[in-house]
Amino acid sequence: MQNDKSLTVKRIIIFLILTFVPAYFFEIVTVDKDTEGYLTSVFGGSSLMLYPAIANVLTRLITKEGFGKTYLRINFKGNFKYYLIGALFPIINGILAGAIFSVCYIHPYSFSENIDEAGGMTAILASILMLIDITIAELFMGFGEEFGWRAYLTPKLETLMPSPLAICVNGIIWALWHAPLITLGYDWGTNYPFFPYLGILSMCVACIFISMIFTYITKKTDSVWPAALSHTVVDVIMSTISVIIIGVQNEEIFNQHDYAYPVIGMIICPLIISIPMMFSMFRKNLQNKA
Amino acid sequence: MYGLLYKDFIINRKNMLIVSLAAAFMYILEFAGLIPSDDSTNTSDMPFLFQTINVISTVSAFMVIGMFQNSIYEQDEKKKYAYYITASEAGIRAHVQEKYLFSYLISVFCMIQCILLNALAIDIAKNEYNDSTLCVMLFFVQIFMRAVEIPFTMAFGAKRGNNVKGIVIIIIFLIALIYFLFGDLSVFGTIDNFWENFFKLFDIDENPKIILGLSLAGLGALGCYYVSYRISCKVYLKGVENYAK
């Protein structure tokens, strides 16, 4: 038993080294302050999300773990609703975040003006359809991260600690993976007190809540694909939907409150969405305790 | 189905490596042209040449991998195997599903390779030109091509399936040729701004209707792929009689 645990710890350490070293290399070497934390290396930007998946495969090979329980099966039959949750969560999240931000900061607000400023309904429809195409084609990007974080790290952590704690630890590790970029303004901007420490802390909280949702759909389907789909939709579509709702002409107001939007979109909304999922996931544990 | 997928992966892993290198060959030539030398200018100093080579590299990579995709159907074109798989618990559906999934994964793999190699070329050349959108478009074109070709391959064997693909390519080539001979080429501008004008066609701010059409076509290609799968399931057993072995 003790041997199993130490082997799991060893595997986790190898996985983390393989995930963090190449990512930190690009995140530290190929960024500058002008790009607000976005990588200057196109190769780094294109390959960054693949390192957790590569680390999963390499760790299995290095530690001779084998390829059992990879969560690669699609398991679509009977699990359509979880795929739907995966696809719809970022869209609902984007709409909610955009709406809450608009109510709080944009006065007077006009949605029809936003549509005109974005080029009309044809342009909006075209951009949404184009983003759907990109999501389908670039599903591997979301898969790259989810195959590492949700399909490998979470199950490993769960053998060492209770599931809720494993999800939290996973979220914190996931957030720290982005840390060098946050110190340059990625996602959370630079316009907030205790920069960049508060940004890193906020990212940890955000990643815990988003991790809850992704872990929920991964566990329910026994497949990494719904989480990969959801992650890709988060990256490709979510912010565009928010931008349409907030309005491109309100960019200046958005920039003035660039910390507020991620707090709404990455902490408050995922928290609201993840609560019922958490109850569903840990209902048995709660019932047993009662 | 997953067992069949694993079987195809194991059978083709070496070929996939070779094909992947072949698909990257044009990119390797491109990288060689990007390395700066003291006495001559490199291709990154000539935007038209850099962009042309980049586009050719991407298109040729998709073509090479497209040819490899054909070979995965030919491998199982044996009457004994076909009857065995029909009688097995997995059945025709799993076999056809596996071929479609494997083919889709190869296209995805090709796209990832092209996006990464293109990114590397941009980093070396320090050029802003990025053809990842082209990679996504070619991915959907490839999916559409397979959607047209696979049912014919399943129904009449690989030889006739290839003929159908050849006809489709010739038709597309002829349409393009006729357009370039008699159509309005002013939208492409001069040789210096050809690619700039070409990619401006796909700029959502300037041409939202073109993007709308292309995006719908992309989703349509996926729909065709699914319909094609359903047709292939129906015609598979009829096609077995046409197998040579």
Q: What is the pLDDT along chain B (245 residues), one digit of tens a residue?
A: 788 888 888 888 888 888 888 888 888 877 777 666 555 555 556 667 777 888 888 898 998 888 888 788 878 888 888 888 888 888 889 999 999 999 999 999 999 999 999 888 888 877 767 778 889 999 999 999 899 888 888 888 777 777 877 888 889 889 988 988 888 777 676 766 777 777 777 777 778 888 889 899 999 999 999 999 999 999 888 888 777 76
pLDDT at B179: 87
ipTM of the complex: 0.86
Range of the domain at A272: 71-289
Task: Tell me whether residues A137 and B119 touch, CB distance under 8 A.
Answer: no
Write the CB contacts of B57 (distance below 8 Å, at least 6 apart in sequence). B26, B27, B29, B30, B114, B117, B118, B121
> Distance (Å, rounded) from C-alpha A250 to C-alpha A114?
9
Is residue A237 predicted with pLDDT exceeding 60? Answer: yes
Contact criterion met (CB < 8 Å) for A129 and B212: yes
pLDDT at B30: 75
Residues of B in contact with A127 (CB under 8 A): 204, 208, 211
Instruction: Give pLDDT tens digits for B53-88.
Output: 888 888 989 988 888 887 888 788 888 888 888 888
Query: Which of the residue ranges A108-122, A206-220, B33-47, B208-222 would you say has the lowest mean pLDDT?
Result: B33-47
If you average pLDDT over residues A134-153, what whole number do you get?
93
Which residue in A136, A244, A248 has the most chain B C-beta atoms within 10 A of its own C-beta, making it the best mutation to test that interface? A136
Per-residue model confidence (pLDDT) at position A133? 92
What B1-4 contacts at long range (C-beta under 8 Å, 24+ apart), as own/partner pairs, is: B1/B90, B1/B94, B1/B97, B1/B98, B1/B101, B2/A73, B3/B90, B4/B90, B4/B94, B4/B95, B4/B98
Task: Give the mean model confidence (pLDDT) for residues A69-75.
Answer: 90
Say whether A126 and B122 touch across the interface (CB within 8 A): no
Q: What would the two tokens of residue B206 be?
A: 């300037």
Is residue A19 a part of any domain in this protein? no
Is residue A189 in some structural domain? yes
Measured in degrees and rounded to the nearest 5, phi and psi for residue A208 equal -65, -45
Q: How far apart are CA A238 and CA A97, in angstroms?
A: 9
Q: How far is A72 from chain B (nearest CA, A)?
A: 10
- Chain B: give the shortest CA distance to residue A49, in Å: 12
- The whole-number pLDDT of residue B19 equals 86
Collapsed DSSP state (helix, strand, coil) of residue A110: coil
3-state SS, one letter per residue, for A169-216: HHHHHHHHHCHHHHCCCCCCCCCCCCCCHHHHHHHHHHHHHHHHHHHH
Residue A153 lies in a domain: yes
In a domain, A32, yes or no: no
For A39, phi and psi rounded to 5 degrees?
-70, 145
pLDDT at A109 over 90: no
Cβ within 8 Å, pair B211-A127: yes
Cβ contact (<8 Å) for B108 and A139?
yes
Which one has a higher pLDDT value, A227 or B1?
Answer: A227
Q: Which amino acid is at B22?
A: A
| Banded pLDDT at A228 (limits 50, 70, 90) | very high
Average pLDDT, chain A: 89
Interface of A with B in 140-199 (CB under 8 A): 140
- Angstrom distances, CA of residue A190 to CA of A36, A37, A253, B197: 8, 10, 15, 37
Helix (H, G, I), strand (E, B) or coil at A115: helix
- Show Cβ contacts of residue A247 under 8 Å, excluding neighbours closer than 6 positions: A102, A106, A109, A110, A113, A114, A117, A118
What percentage of chain A exceeds 70 in pLDDT?
95
Residue A132 touches partner B, C-beta closer than 8 Å: yes
Q: Please tell me the total count of domains within chain A.
A: 1
Q: Which residue has the higher pLDDT, B128 or A280?
A: A280
Q: What angle do CA A80, A84, A86 make, to 5 degrees?
A: 115
Of B115, B122, B215, the CB nearest to A130: B215
DSSP string, chain B: -HHHHHHHHHHHHHHHHHHHHHHHHHHHHHHHHHS--SSS--GGG-HHHHHHHHHHHHHHHHHHHHHHHHHHHHTT--HHHHHHHHHSSSHHHHHHHHHHHHHHHHHHHHHHHHHHHHHHHHHHHT-----HHHHHHHHHHHHHHHHHHHHHHHHH-HHHHHHHHHHHHHHHHHHHHHHHHHS--GGG--STTHHHHHHHTT-TTT-HHHHHHHHHHHHHHHHHHHHHHHHHHHHHHHHHTT---
Chain A CB contacts of B216 below 8 Å: 129
**Residue B93's closest CA among B241, B224, B231?**
B231
pLDDT at residue A36 greater than cutoff 70: no
| Interface residue A127 vs chain B (CB under 8 A) | yes
For residue B168, what are the CA distances in angstroms to A122, A226, B171, B175, B201?
31, 35, 5, 11, 24
Mark out chain B residues that contact chain A at CB-CB < 8 A: 2, 108, 111-112, 115-116, 118-120, 122-123, 130, 132, 136, 139-140, 204-205, 208-209, 211-212, 214-216, 218-219, 222
- The sign of the dihedral angle between the CA atoms of A170, A174, A177, A179 is negative
Q: Which residues of B touch A236 (CB under 8 A)?
A: none
Nearest to B136 among A42, A122, A134 (CB): A134
Per-residue 3-state assignment (H helix, E strand, C coil) for A213-240: HHHHHHHHHCCCHHHHHHHHHHHHHHHH
CB pairs under 8 A between A and B: 72
Residue A285 lies in a domain: yes
- State the pTM of this model: 0.89
Name the minimum distance, in Å, from the CA of A137 to any CA of chain B. Answer: 6
Q: Return the pLDDT at A120.
A: 85
pLDDT (0 to 100) of residue A167: 93
The residues, any chain, with a CB within 8 Å of residue B124's CB and separated by 6 or more, are B31, B34, B35, B44
Cβ separation A140–B112 shorter than 8 A: yes
Contact list in A for residue B1 (CB cut-off 8 A) is none
Please check whether residue A35 lies inside any domain of the structure: no
Give dist(CA B2, CA B90) in Å, integer: 10
A167 inside domain: yes
Residue A33 has pLDDT above 70, yes or no: no
Say if A120 falls within a structural domain: yes
> What are the C-alpha distances in Å from A111 to residues A98, A193, A245, A264?
11, 32, 7, 19
CB contact under 8 A, A126 and B209: yes
- Identify which of B111, B123, B212 has the shortest CB distance to residue A43: B123
Residues of B in contact with A126 (CB under 8 A): 204, 208-209, 211-212, 215
CA distance B57 to A43: 17
- Give pLDDT, residue A199: 94
